[in-house]
Chains A and B, each alone.
Chain A
């Protein structure tokens, strides 16, 4: 029987290896970038992985979204699951990153602890409809504020200013210094994203569009594309995940203010979130959350001014 058991083990191992191979795009499950620093020097006073103070039975005006959410005791959040540093699903199923920390901050001010947040994956193309069809209460998902989107939903924030940048293979074999240098050259980005449209329409690159940013890394390794382009923070995550393989070149050449999506016309809720953000800017919570997540790789910037339109 021993032989048979060995066979089974071998088969299991082969199966596991195949599965691993097939999901090779997925980053190794580590609390690396965007993970939580478990070194033990964080004060264990607050709640959840981000040590946030949970508001004690906060008072809200009758009938507002805040009152309803505080009453229900849960917050449904749409975020990214595949973006290192901002929203990356960890091995325990919960996402980690700066977007996740910001969502947890909003929940905390509503008196909702981290374990009562319901996370859903909100890929780029479904973010508006998630809010319109009431599948989530807020969307925090590297969500660039723009006018077309404002027709369908409301934005609180911005809580972070990203900018489009360019990723090349280590050593920069093509000598690319900025977006002007990729005209007519094959560049990878994600189909249906703002950076993809920018590099193709404004800089004349030959766009090769993938389904996810991680799908752009292999073509770059193989020289099938000369560069990958999207927001600098996402690219930084890849540089960090693949040491010695890639580098960022040049400065950012667009402004991508990340906002928090809420249902259209819920101005009271937007105002509340803006107040929460401004308070977090003031008392240093915003900076602390950034340092514990994206700050592992990025320099902590000055918080942006919220836009109360």
Chain B
């Protein structure tokens, strides 16, 4: 336990960096996911195609490759951005399609008759989406959204291999400094991730109970 006493600050710094990355990515990726989902259910074909293309491309590319493109390829093309920022962009681009698909599945759970009824009383597509479909979809969207967020928490560790200091990187730093305590270090790091993901899971359960509807 020597490393906790002497280098607890390294661990804390890594933990906070991971939390910060998680929060920023969530705040950027969720709105982007909503936009993508709305584009995919919109009546305009070109919007549907763009959103579908983006979703399929990013969702089926390994996250490591997305990072590689942003951190090593973009600078060669003259786009030089801060590594912290690159990590947020990579995570956002990769996570938004997952959010979008989660939202779309929630929308698909709303009976189609609701949309038909809304259109029949003269609401526009925008109004139908905003006032009828999405409020009902929210209920079934919450669990998958939190699932994606839990996956995102773990995905932030990829940034540790791309010049960003976070929880996973702090484990490697500590393992080198305290070579005789490596197993304990990895256990503590794992507990730090659980300290983020388990409350998220609990939150999901609570929210779900709150907005549950009997169908």
B162 within 8 A of A: yes
Residues A218 and B76 in contact in the complex (CB < 8 Å), given A191-B160, A211-B162: yes
Q: Decide if A197 touches B180 in the complex (CB within 8 Å).
A: no
B83 within 8 A of A: yes
Q: Decide if A148 touches B161 in the complex (CB within 8 Å).
A: no
Q: Which of B83, B169, B172 interacts with A224 by CB under 8 Å?
A: B83
Binary flags per residue of B143-175, CB closer than 8 Å to A gives 1, else 0: 000000000000000001111010001001101
Residues A192 and B65 in contact in the complex (CB < 8 Å), given A148-B179, A209-B165: no
**Size class of B's contact patch?**
20 to 34
Binary flags per residue of A191-232, CB closer than 8 Å to B gives 1, else 0: 111101100000000011111000100110011100000000
Smallest CB separation, A107 vs chain B (Å): 26
- Give CA–CA (A22, B72) in the complex, Å: 10
Which of A4-12, A50-58, A123-131 touches B?
A123-131
Q: Decide if A125 touches B165 in the complex (CB within 8 Å).
A: no
Smallest CB separation, A184 vs chain B (Å): 16
Q: Which chain A positions have C-beta within 8 A of B172?
A: 125, 191-192
61-82 of chain B: CB within 8 A of chain A: 65, 68, 72, 75-76, 80
Q: Decide if A125 touches B175 in the complex (CB within 8 Å).
A: yes
- Give CA–CA (A47, B176) in the complex, Å: 37
Smallest CB separation, B11 vs chain A (Å): 14
A41 within 8 A of B: no
- Give CA–CA (A125, B171) in the complex, Å: 10
Binary flags per residue of A21-34, CB closer than 8 Å to B gives 1, else 0: 01000000000000
Q: Which residue of B lies closest to A218 (CB)?
A: B72
Q: Which chain A positions have C-beta within 8 A of B180?
A: 148, 151-152
Q: Which chain B positions have C-beta within 8 A of A218?
A: 72, 75-76
Residues A219 and B175 in contact in the complex (CB < 8 Å), given A152-B180, A224-B75: no
- Give CA–CA (A224, B180) in the complex, Å: 34
Q: Decide if A197 touches B173 in the complex (CB within 8 Å).
A: yes
- Give CA–CA (A224, B165) in the complex, Å: 16
Smallest CB separation, A280 vs chain B (Å): 28
Smallest CB separation, B1 vs chain A (Å): 15
Q: Which chain A positions have C-beta within 8 A of B75?
A: 218-219, 222, 224
Residues A197 and B177 in contact in the complex (CB < 8 Å), given A208-B83, A210-B161: yes
Q: Decide if A129 touches B163 in the complex (CB within 8 Å).
A: no
Residues A22 and B182 in contact in the complex (CB < 8 Å), given A208-B83, A210-B163, A218-B76: no
A76 within 8 A of B: no
Q: Decide if B176 touches A197 in the complex (CB within 8 Å).
A: yes
Q: Which chain A positions have C-beta within 8 A of B178?
A: 148
- Give CA–CA (A232, B65) in the complex, Å: 31
- Give CA–CA (A151, B179) in the complex, Å: 8
Q: Decide if A208 touches B163 in the complex (CB within 8 Å).
A: yes
Q: Which chain B positions have C-beta within 8 A of A193?
A: 176
Q: Decide if A191 touches B169 in the complex (CB within 8 Å).
A: yes
Q: Decide if B80 touches A192 in the complex (CB within 8 Å).
A: no
Q: Which residue of A lies closest to B81 (CB)?
A: A224
Q: Decide if A209 touches B163 in the complex (CB within 8 Å).
A: yes
Q: Decide if A192 touches B182 in the complex (CB within 8 Å).
A: no
175-215 of chain B: CB within 8 A of chain A: 175-180, 182
Smallest CB separation, A139 vs chain B (Å): 13
A234 within 8 A of B: no
- Give CA–CA (A128, B161) in the complex, Å: 21
Q: Which chain B positions have C-beta within 8 A of A188?
A: 163
Residues A128 and B83 in contact in the complex (CB < 8 Å), given A215-B163, A218-B75, A218-B76: no
Q: Which of A149, A192, A194, A197 has the most CB of B within 10 A?
A: A192
- Give CA–CA (A211, B160) in the complex, Å: 8
- Give CA–CA (A210, B87) in the complex, Å: 13
Q: Which chain B positions have C-beta within 8 A of A194?
A: 176
Q: Which chain B positions have C-beta within 8 A of A192?
A: 169, 172-173, 175-176
217-265 of chain A: CB within 8 A of chain B: 218-219, 222-224
Residues of A within 8 A of B (CB): 22, 124-125, 128-129, 146, 148-149, 151-152, 188, 191-194, 196-197, 207-211, 215, 218-219, 222-224
Listed A/B pairs (24) with beta-carbon separation below 8 Å: A124-B176, A125-B172, A129-B182, A146-B179, A148-B178, A151-B180, A152-B179, A152-B180, A191-B172, A191-B173, A192-B172, A192-B173, A192-B175, A192-B176, A197-B173, A207-B165, A208-B83, A209-B163, A209-B165, A210-B163, A215-B162, A219-B163, A222-B76, A224-B80
The 5 closest A-B pairs by CB, nearest first: A192-B172, A211-B161, A192-B176, A222-B75, A151-B180
Given A192-B176, A210-B163, A215-B72, 5 more pairs with CB closer than 8 A = A148-B179, A191-B165, A192-B169, A211-B160, A222-B75
